[in-house]
Structures are given as structure tokens and as C-alpha cells.
Structure 1
Amino acid sequence: MRHPAPTPVLIVGGGPVGLTLSLLLSRHGVAHLLVEAHPGTSHHPKARGVSARSMEIFRRCGLEEAIRAAGLPASQVFFYRGRNLVDPDFVRTGVAHRAPDGEEHTPSPGLICSQDALEAVLLGRARELAPDAIRFGTRLLSFSQDGDGVDAVLEDRATGDRQTVRAHWLVGCDGAASTVRAGAGIALQGPRGLQHFLSIRFEAPLGEVVADRASASYFLTEPGRGGFLAVDNDRHWIYQHPFDPDQDDEASELTDHQQLAALVREAAGLPDLEVTVRDTMTWRMDAQLADSYRESRVLLAGDAAHVIPPTGGHGMNTGIGDADNLAWKLAAVIGGRATDALLDSYQAERRPVARQVIDLSVDNARARAARSGYRIDDELLLTATYRSPAGPPLDPSGYRPGSAPGTRAPHLRLIGPPGTSSTLDLVGPEFTLLTPTAAPAWQRQVDAAAAAGIPVALRPLNTDTRHAADDGDWTELFGLPADGAVLVRPDGHIAWRADHPPVDATELLTALGLRGR
């Protein structure tokens, strides 16, 4: 049967990217439906690194505290290198932070939170915000589209019941083997099978063994040994065993728990370790990018749009950034404040980011294969810049705060009421005009935009209840005089800046890139 009324957005895929998109659409007041073929969230701790930029997005959604509680303590976010887990000559390094001593680039540093734990937090909040919009155990069978929307055939996997849903927009967040991408006829380009791994989830009393070297990941330098991933750095672990499918067919089909436990003991260097194997999975390291992120009324995000090697921890985070970029644009188009041409900017802004992240991750994979180590950079995605003619969208040399259009608005520490301790906390679901003080000239600009039907929130840093921690930080970080301002998009990126208030609202309205009444 047909859905009783069209849904503005149908999200296919209930992993971290799809759930983040659901949260953000709810924040923008956009009705939607999310379907996920699996009956529940992931049981296997796969993607684990949550970058600073992703944590800033979750902070906006009110989830930072819950995600930190579900992740590893900051004291354990290190990376170990040794022949095995008991190597006396081990090396332990931290995540790369490029900020000089005392300089703070973000209010929300990244952390390690395994995908199974992260998804549970995201799903709980998504259901709170849109209780009737989240359907697990429901798969997309097929879809067709016309110029006005998409007709999608869904199946309840428990009952076999089928339903046709009409959606204005379909977003595929359904992973590397995306049904949505295939149905839209969008190809993936790039190498497959760079490496293959057998992932063993197990329990073992390793907490005391690693007490003096607790880390998030344990890279083993012995050839062919792979490494361990800490789930809790106590009893719960993942062992990643590399194999060559052309020479080691048995590894990918290994199911005997005694043999699996023997692999774990050998890699750990603990022949008497008590090991209980819980489950296994095999996976292949690919490096692929979709030819397009949009085909008419169909859009792609996350692994459906880009398959990124996990070496560096940026795959899931790039997808979360996709959701952040796409959500406000869908909201603007659905709300009539922009034409669907705005959605073309989604590919223009996000695809170059994915291309560069793939290349950096492939370089890291080669470094790991050569056992020379590689860099984990928590702040890489803070450098993402949109519409910049100066060079690539990411700057691997490090984040430098500024207010150039396209860059992420800088974090400036604020002192005031709880919940507003950073300039990033002032960015709302609408466009935000950040200024040092509530100057009447800027208020007139905001009023003119409102009169044209485009909501813009004026957010001065200094008010009766809050103020910047350092009076000089605005000029230093934003590079603007005291009466300047930046117009910040709902995803935290700067759309426009001005040293002084313009004479009329034409510049501001043009910078918004939206249409009013």
C-alpha cells in the first residue's frame, strides 16, 4: 500500500551516518523516515575513532557527554607498537594534536568510542526526537524516481509485508554495498582489496597485562601479525588478523573457536591466555569514491559515497561530516528557502574532502604495511574548507583558525551560563551572525533578512551574561576589527565576513544564498 502522505526525506541506513542525519533533520524540524535492514544496531566494534569535528556536531545535538561516557577514557587514547602485547621494548604514542601549548582549537576533542556503543547512543536520541520515524528490520527493495520525488518499496523483514513510500528526497546511507547507489546507477571508482583481515571479537583477562601500556590500538610489528583493538582495555577485545585471500583461503573461512583462540594467543605473546571467542567477521580494505553524490532526487552519504581505508580513523567521520553538510541544505530546500540547486553544492563541497581523505588513508595503509607507523590526526577534519580556490579542501599541515569564507568558524572560549562555553555553541539551526557586541547596525541587517523571510540569529559574544575569555581573541582568531562580523552556516562553516556593517542588507542577503519571500 502507499504511505498515507509523502515524507520529505527517506533515509536508507541506520548506521552512524544515517542516525546523525536523522538527528540533524529533527533539529531542523524536517519530517523524515529512516529504515535499516538489520533488526538492531551493530554488535561488532568496528569504526571507533570519533574525531573532534564529529564531536562538535554531536555537541550541537546535545550528545557529547553521553558519547564520552560510552567511550574509552582519554588516558587510554594512545597507540602501541611492539612485537606482541608483552614486548618490553614497546613504543606508545598519542594522537597528533597540532595546537601549540595553551592554544585550544576545539571545545570537543575526539575520542575512541566503538561503533556499537556510538550507535546505541545515537539511536536512543533519534527515537526520542522522532519516535515514529525510525524503523529497523525494514529494507529497501527497489525505488523509482521522477522529477518530483521517489517511490520506494520497503519490506518488513519480520512479516514480509511490503509498503510503497513516496519521498521528496531519498538519501542512501546504506554502506559500501549501497542498494541506493546501485539503484541510482552511480558507479564507484578506485582500488579494492588493498588488504584483507579476519576480525575476531573475544574476551580475555588482559587488563592487568596492558596496565602499564593501555592504548586504543596495539599495532604488532611482527610481519603478518596485525594488531589488537581495545574495546574496554580489560576483558573485551578485537584481534585483526591480516591474510592474503590468494594464498590463505582457510583464514577467511576459519570458524573453529579453538583455532581462533590460538591465533589470539600467538599474536598476544601469551601462550596460556584464557580466550573466549565471541564472533568473527572478514573485511576488505578498499579505497573508492562515487562518481556522483546526487542523481536527481537521490543523494548519497557516508560509505555509500566513499569507501575509505580505516588507517587514520577518518572514514566514519567523513560520513558524519556529509550528514552535517546535507541536513541544513535539505531543510532549506524543503522549507522553500532555496531551490534544489543548493543540493548541488553538497557534492561540490564534500566530494573533494572524501577524495583527499582517501588518498591520505591509502598513504597510511602503505606505511602500516611497511611497519613504519602512521599518524592519527584528531584535528584533520577541522581544516575542511569549502569553495576555496587556494588549494585542496584539507590542510594536513594543521588547523589554523581564521574567518575566510568556507572555513569552520573558530572556537573561542566563552565564560558565562552553562551550555555556552564556546563560539560554536552559539551556532543554531539557522544562519548565525557572530559579532563581538550587539551593535544596532548589525541588528538592522538581521531584521532586514527576517523581513525578506530568511531567519538569521544575531549572536554577540559579549552580553550581560557571557563574555569572551580573552578580549583580544576575536581580533586574533577571526582576523576582524571590533565591529566586524561573520555569517555562519548551520553546519558551522563561514558563509561571509565583513570588517564593518554594510550600508544596506544586500550584501548579507546575497551571502545567504537563499531566497526570501
Structure 2
Amino acid sequence: MPFPPTTTVLIAGGGPVGLTLSILLSRYGVDHLLVEARPDTARHPKARGVSARSMEILRRCGLEDEIRGAGLPASQVRFYRGRDLVDPDFVRSGVAHDPAGAEEHTPSPGLICSQDVLEPILLRRARESAAARIRFGTRLLTGAADGGGVSAVLEDLAGGGRHEVRAQWLVGCDGAGSTVRTGAGIGMDGPTGLGHFLSVRFEAPLGAVVADRASASYFLTPPGRGGFMAVDNDRHWIYQYPFDPDRPPGGADLTDRRQLADLVRAAAGLPDLEVTVRDTAFWRMDARLASAYRRGRVLLAGDAAHVVPPTGGHGMNTGIGDADNLAWKLAAVTDGRATTDLLDSYQAERRPVARQVIDLSADNARARAGYRIDDELLLTAAYRSAAIVAAPGAPVRPPVDASGYHPSGEPGCRAPHSRLTGPPGSSSTLDLVGTGFTLITADGTPAWQHRADAAAAAGLPVTVHTLGAGRLREEHPGAFGRLCGVPASGAVLVRPDGHVAWRAAAPPAGPELARVLRSVLTGAAHPARP
């Protein structure tokens, strides 16, 4: 199949972040080409936790049910601590998301779905929308940017040969050793070597052994070392073994599968366990952040932009959030609704989030008494940029709030979830967010629709949803307005990524809504009003 000579967006990297970006760009109708050097999706589980915020994004893509069906049951999202897998004095910590607990903050709680299971689901959906534009077995060799676009050279690793492709934008989703980042001359700062680990993927009949303590992760306490990560909590497992690369334990050969099987048996506390080692991976824990997320026509996302310690499970999820933030902005720029200045807000919004997530995860890595797994941490992401119209004097929130999620309709925050009773297909206010801007109000008067019509006449379309009107009703009437901090006459303007761009207590006079939209899309200063 010939390579297209031109494309709007060239995505380098077909892991979870690159595939999510492809799915979202297809949803927005943006032509793109994704290239991935691997011949197929990941064989090793790698990342496993899909957070609530990522699940909300994937829900918007129509993938929630399939991913949830492929993951571990919610009852197993627990965390075990013991000397080995048969320690009678084990401790099992709480469920990451307890739907019977406090206030429901999301319609899509996180789950455990390992990367080797998740990637094929994402790849199938990406190919459904852009089959000819998803090229595995293809490596990006170079990507030279100029004022009008990017000239890329691709190598077809299966069929041989090199191909030149011209793109308007290049997005590096190609991992910590990113060719795109290096080619753009963007540096990475932060410590490396916080730990060295051997990851052993193996099969063993452990389902019956852990039946009374089934968990997502089994952390071993001294004299145990490392921990077991459940893939299916039955036969498929990962053993994470920390080691000093200069001094293997007892002179053991960490590449010998028989010795690795013995290592697994010793860690499990089951000397007669039948173990089949499938593959291994050596990895290093780093905590690094790119100095920039954009350089001209080149942008970075995922591990190419930030390397997050896995202690907390936020690395892949932070990258999926990058894709969500970037996709609608690329769509708005490429279809002419926004200026290229909108893409500057990508770094302004996402880099501070990554910085704080890296710091929290590094603190977790240093914690000796264990750490809290927070499924809702990334729900707390709060943005400040030219693509947000905040009221004068509005408090500045941290990029993420480690104290927990507190629903808010403040501009920059993710729009709150309020459960809906209809119509079919919309069970949350988050389901009202479409591919364009969305105005949500409880005001049944025509005033807000008139403002939206005026904005559309100016080339700035916005969809209006009135809660309590017709079949669109909240399970708890008025909840969304209370969470957003607006009266019944007010409204919040929600971006395609689900973050609030602006809120108002009443329909404004004149073309105020159009001015707000223009401000968000162009980065122009706007005299925001409370």
C-alpha cells in the first residue's frame, strides 16, 4: 500500500498515547498518518492502570464498555502487602474506587487493563476510522520542520524502502527516547536511575493461591523483594524485581529463564510452583520533563514529553490527557477556526500537570511505608492559559490537587459529573460534551440559545444543552449548577476536552459569547467578567 505524500498531522508512535490521539483526530475529522516501528502492539503488559480521567476520555470515544470488559473486575482493584503470596499475615488495602462510598465524581471509574490488552482495542478503533493511515512496521527517520510544515522521511521496515511525507504538524508520541524530541532539539531535565527493575512476564497457576486475596498488585515486604502485578489474576502475571545493575543477586544470571523461574518461585513462597517465563524487560525508573512541548510545527505528547515514575500509575494516563488536550486544538487550527497561537496553550496547560505528577510519583517512589493509589488525581487537573477565560481575581489552583477531587465549574477545571436520567446514551453531564464547544445551562428561557445563534452567525458554533428541558433531566435536579457555582440562570462553556472555558451567572448582553469563543481560539486577551 503506497504511503500518502501529504497529511495534515503525522503521529510518530503507536502506543496508547499515539493511538488515542489518532482516534480523537478521526473523531474531529482531521486527516493524519500514524507510524509505529513495532510490527504489532505491545506483548509486555507495561502500564496497567487506566485512571478515571482516561476512562472518561475513552468513554467519549465509545470504548468504555470494551475496555471495562477486558480489565480486572472492580472488586480486585486492591493492593496486597505481604512477605510472599502465601503470607498468612498479609494486609489488603482498600478499593481504588468505591461506588458505594462518598459522592460520585465520575461515570467512568478507573480499572486495571494491562497495556498488552489495551493497545489492540485502541488499534482496532483507530483502524476502523483511518485504516490506511495506521502504519505499524514503519519508522520515522527524520522530521525537518520549516515555517509551512514538516518534511519527514519514513522507513518501511517490512517492505523496505524509504518514503517522504509532507505534514502540516508532527506529533512525537514515540516514547522516552523520542526521535521527534531529539530532532527538534528539545531537552529533557530531571533525575534518572531512581531504580532499576527486571520485569518478568510469566504463566503460573496462581488463581487458586490468591483466591482469598485477589488484588491488582502484590507488594512484597522484607525479606521479600519487588512485587507481583496481576494481568488476569489467574495464569498471567508480571514479577517486578528491583536489582542493582552492577551486582546481580548471588551472581544470578537474570537472562537465564530457569533461574528467573526460581526467582519467581522464591518470591511467591511456592518452591514447587509450575512457572513458564514468557519474556522479560529491563527498565530504569526516571523522573524527567521536556523543556518544551512545542517547537514550531513539532509537538510532544506522552513519554516523549514526560517520563513519570510508575509509582502511582499516572504515566500513561498523563499521556492520554495530553492527547485529549491536543487533539481538539489541532482540529481547530487545521480547519481554520483557531490561530496557531492556540497550540501554545497546550504546553501552558499540560506541562504544569506533568511537572506535579512527576513530583508526586517520585515522592511515592521514595516512600518506605507504601503510598496511596489515587484513581481520581487527574480529574483535579486545573488549567490556566489563553484558552481559558477566568474571572478577575479568581484563585489560582494547583495544576493537580493531591488532597483529592473537589468538583468545580471554575474555568480551567474539568466540568463536573452529574448523573442524568435521559435521553438514552447520555447518563452523565460529561456525555453532553461533543466535538465542538458546549454550553450547559438550566435556564429554560431562549436567551442562551439566542447568544449561541449569534456566535454561530459569526462562524463560532456552540451547542446548547438545557438541563431540565424536555427529556434531559438530572437525577438530582440542580446538582450540576451547584457543583459549577452558577445559579439557574447561569451557564458554563465547555471545551471539547471537557474543561470549562468560561462561566457566567446570566446570559450576557450583546455578542459576549462570540467574544469569549474568539478569545479562546485565538489567544487574544478578553476582559473576563464574573
State whether residues 438 and 459 of structure 1, in contact with CA within 8 Å, keep that contact through their aligned partners in structure 2. no
- Which of 497, 511, 514 is the equivalent residue of 2:521? 514
Do the aligned partners of residues 485 and 240 (structure 1) sit closer, same or farther apart at CA in structure 2, a change above 3 Å counting?
Answer: same
Question: Any idea what the Cα deviations from partners look like across 1:269-291, whole Å, max 9, x if unmatched?
Answer: 00111111111110000000000
1:184–1:298 Cα contact (<8 Å) kept: yes
Partner of 1:462: 468
Letter of the 2:131 partner, please give it.
Answer: P
Residues 99 and 105 in structure 1, CA contact (< 8 A), matched pair in contact too: no
Match status 1:379 vs 2:376: yes
CA-CA distance at 1:212 after TM superposition: 0.2
- Which residue of structure 2 lines up, in the alignment, with residue 262 of structure 1? 262
**Do the aligned partners of 1:197 and 1:241 also contact (CA within 8 Å) in 2?**
yes
Q: Which residue of 2 aligns with 1:441?
A: 447
- Equivalent residues in 2 for 1:258-407, closer than 5 Å: 258-367=258-367, 370=368, 372-387=369-384, 390-407=396-413
Change (3 A) 1:250 1:494: farther
Q: Distance in 2 between matches of 1:476 and 1:269?
A: 53
Residue in 1 aligned with 2:31?
31
Give the Cα–Cα distance (whole angstroms) in 2 for the partners of residues 233 and 327 of structure 1: 35
Q: In 1, are the aligned partners of 2:206 and 2:234 still within 8 Å (CA)?
A: yes
Match for 1:110: what amino acid?
Answer: G
SS of residue in 2 equivalent to 1:326: helix
Matched, 1:81 2:75: no
- The number of residue pairs the alignment matches comes to 513
8 Å CA contact 2:252, 2:259 repeated in 1: no
Tell me the distance in 2 between the aligned counterparts of 1:339 and 1:241.
Answer: 49
Q: Structure 1 residue 326: deviation in Å?
A: 0.3
- Report the counterpart of residue 206 of structure 1 in structure 2: 206
What aligned pairs does 1:16-27 form with structure 2 within 5 A after superposition? 16-27=16-27
Tell me how far 1:462 sits from its aligned partner. 2.2
Which amino acid letter does the alignment assign opposite residue 221 of structure 2? T
Give 1:19's aligned amino acid. L
- Tell me, yes or no, if the aligned pair for 1:198 and 1:251 is still in contact at 8 Å: no
Displacement, 1:483? 1.1
Q: Any conservation in 2 of the 1:190–1:287 contact (CA below 8 Å)?
A: yes
Comparing 503-512 with 317-326, which one deviates more in the overlay?
Answer: 503-512
Shift of residue 466, structure 1, vs aligned partner: 2.5
- d(CA) in 2 for partners of 1:482, 1:392: 28
Runs of 4+ in 1 over 3 A off after TM superposition: 2-5, 95-102, 249-253
Q: Residues of 2 paired with 1:399 and 1:490: CA distance?
A: 21
In 2 relative to 1, CA 297–251 (structure 1 residues): closer, same or farther, beyond 3 Å?
farther
1:503 matches 2:500: no
Quote the offset at 1:418 in angstroms: 2.3
For the structure 1 residues 500 and 10, does the alpha-carbon distance in structure 2 shift closer, same or farther, using more than 3 Å as the test?
same
Structure 1 298/249 Cα, relative in aligned 2: closer, same or farther at 3 Å?
farther
1:423/1:461 contact within 8 Å kept: no
2:494 to 480, 488, 496: 488
Indicate how the Cα distance of structure 1 residues 126 and 391 shifts in structure 2: closer, same or farther if over 3 A, else same: same
Q: Encode CA deviations 1:299-345: one digit per residue, 9 max, x unaligned.
A: 00000000000000000000000000000000011011111111010
CA contact (8 A) 1:224 1:242 kept: no
Q: SS where residue 26 of structure 1 aligns?
A: helix
- For structure 2, which runs of at least 5 residues remain unmatched after alignment? 385-393, 524-530
> Which stretch shifts more, 241-250 or 102-111?
241-250
Matched with 2:136 is 136
CA deviation map 1:350-386 (0-9, x unaligned): 000000000000010011xx2x111100000000000
Residues 1:122 and 1:251: Cα distance change in structure 2 (over 3 Å): farther
Tell me the distance in 1 between the aligned counterparts of 2:97 and 2:66.
23
Alignment of 1:415-430 (within 5 A): 415-430=421-436
Task: Determine the structure 1 residue equivalent to 2:108.
Answer: 108
Rounded to whole Å, the distance in 1 between the matches of 2:216 and 2:177 is: 28
Per-residue deviation, residues 395-436 of structure 1 (Å, max 9, x unmatched): 111111111100000000000132100000000010000011
CA 113–506 in structure 1, closer or farther in 2 if over 3 Å, else same:
same
Q: Aligned AA for 1:362? A: A
TM-superposed CA distance for 1:470, in Å, is 1.1
Residue 390 of structure 1 deviates from its aligned partner by 1.6
Q: Structure 1 stretch 507-516 or stretch 178-187: which is displaced more? A: 507-516
Letter in 2 for 1:421: S
| TM-score, scaled to structure 2 | 0.94
Structure 1 CA distance for aligned equivalents of residues 69 and 217 of structure 2 = 19
Distance in 1 separating the partners of 2:99 and 2:267: 36
> Residue 514 of structure 1 aligns to a residue in which SS?
helix
Cα deviations across residues 190-215 of structure 1 (Å, max 9, x unaligned)? 01110011111111110000000000
- Supply the distance in 1 between the matched residues of 2:241 and 2:316 (Cα, whole angstroms): 22
Partners of 1:278 and 1:186 lie apart in 2 by 37
Unaligned runs of 5+ in 1: none
Deviation digits for residues 41-99 of structure 1, max 9, x if unmatched?
Answer: 00001100000000000000000000001100111110000000000110101244599
3-state DSSP of counterpart to 1:289: strand
**Cross-structure match for 2:389:** none
When residues 194 and 102 of structure 1 are mapped into structure 2, their CA distance, relative to the original with a 3 A threshold, is closer
TM norm structure 1: 0.96
Alpha-carbon distance between aligned partners in 2 of 1:150 and 1:250, rounded to the nearest angstrom:
52
What is aligned with 2:151? 151
**Paired residue secondary structure (2:347):** helix
How has the CA–CA distance of structure 1 residues 453 and 251 changed in structure 2, closer, same or farther, with 3 Å as cutoff?
farther
> What displacement does 1:128 show?
0.3
Match of 2:526 in 1: none
Identical pairs, percent: 72
> What SS class does the counterpart of residue 177 from structure 1 fall into?
coil
Equivalent-residue separation in structure 1 for 2:406 and 2:81 (angstroms): 30
Q: CA deviation at 1:253?
A: 5.8
How far is the alpha carbon of 1:248 from its aligned partner? 2.3
1:22-53 deviation line (CA, Å, top 9, x unaligned): 01001111010000000000000110000000
Residue identity in the other structure for 2:446: P
Match of 1:8 in 2: 8
CA distance, structure 2, for counterparts of residue 145 and residue 253 of structure 1: 46
1:78·1:93 contact (CA, 8 Å) conserved in 2? Answer: yes
Contact 1:98 1:399 in 2 (8 A): no
- Partner of residue 180, structure 2: 180
Distance 1:108 1:99, change over 3 A: closer
Distance 1:3 1:257, change over 3 A: closer
The residue number in structure 2 matching 1:409 is: 415
* TM superposition shift of 1:258: 1.1
Pairwise CA distance, 1:391: 3.9
- The offset of 1:437, in angstroms, is 4.2
Matched-pair contact (CA < 8 Å) for 2:12–2:140? yes
Change (3 A) 1:253 1:164: farther
